[in-house]
Amino acid sequence: MAQPSAEGNLSRVDARLRPEGEKGPLVCSLETYRRYHAERAQPWELQALTRARPMTGPLQKEFMAIAKNAWHKAGQHVDLYAKIDNMLERIRRERSRGSEFLDFKTGSGGIIEAEFLVQALQMRNAIWEPNWTVAVDHLREVSHFIESEARALKGAYEFLRGCESVLRRYENKSVSALPAGQSEQGRFVHRLGFKNIEAFTQKYTAARSSIQGIYGRRIRQAPP
């Protein structure tokens, strides 16, 4: 599936994310999934089920029932927010490119922080919705975000995703950090539609500060 062809590439698939990882069978039975998620799945695996969506096959409903059940149980853990915050810090340590400013995906106030924020609130409040933007709206509707937070969060996330999209189109590969060189940064901000680096930096910094502030209030400062 990873091989390029004259017709293009298929979506990227990481088969290591199956139960038991590289040691397990490529295709598992429903009972294997149920037992794995109930007994051995790591917190990050249960959190990742927030994005689970069936694609094809006759057992879609049965699999999703297993996934939702495991996800709901994980959301009831008293230390849910602490576990998710610890995972976020671990990602920063392991994936950091060495520059907090350039790391728009894993850095403070980055894309992953925005996603973990929403997923944590979804799990705690049993709001099942794989689409991130729609999930923000649902959380606002039940007062887990105030209107200004939801608006700021969506705007900041969409801006950072826009940065990622421009970089991925240009480099034709997965990208998680801004260009380091000044000339490359200049070309990048021009493709985004900014007149200069200063104008981009102002909006970029504000977007990440907005995500970081909301995460701090709703996750780190929240009661258990």
Residues 72 and 87 in one domain: no
Inside any domain, residue 219: yes
Beta-carbon count within 10 A of 49 CB: 22
CA neighbours closer than 13 Å in the CB half-sphere of residue 131: 5
Residues 60 and 113 in one domain: no
Inside any domain, residue 19: no
Residues 133 and 214 in one domain: yes
Residues 63 and 174 in one domain: no
Distance in angstroms (rounded) separating the CA atoms of residues 50 and 128 = 7
Residue 141 is predicted with a pLDDT of 97
Inside any domain, residue 182: yes
Residues 217 and 114 in one domain: yes
Distance in angstroms (rounded) separating the CA atoms of residues 10 and 75 = 33
Q: Is the pLDDT of residue 43 over 80?
A: yes
Q: Is the pLDDT of residue 151 over 90?
A: yes
Q: Is the pLDDT of residue 134 over 80?
A: yes
In one-letter notation, the amino acid at residue 108 is S
DSSP label at residue 13 = -
Burial of residue 108 (CB within 10 Å: 0-12, 13-18, 19+) is middle
Q: Using one digit for the tens of pLDDT, what is the confidence trace for 98-119?
A: 789 999 999 999 999 999 999 9
Per cent of the chain over pLDDT 70 is 100
Q: Using one digit for the tens of pLDDT, what is the confidence trace for 152-198?
A: 999 999 999 999 999 998 877 789 999 999 999 999 999 999 999 99
Residue 203's nearest CA partner among 152, 142, 165 is 152
Q: Domain range holding 42? A: 25-47+54-76
Q: Based on the structure, what is the number of domains in the chain?
A: 2
Q: What is the pTM of this model?
A: 0.92
DSSP label at residue 50 = G
Residue 11 is predicted with a pLDDT of 78
Are 205 and 156 spatial neighbours (Cβ–Cβ below 8 Å)? Answer: no
- In angstroms, what CA-CA distances link 181 with 102, 185, 196? 11, 6, 14
Residues 155 and 140 in one domain: yes
Which residues, 6 or more positions from 80, have their beta carbon under 8 angstroms from its beta carbon?
74, 120, 123, 124
- In angstroms, what CA-CA distances link 83 with 47, 77, 113, 169? 10, 9, 13, 34
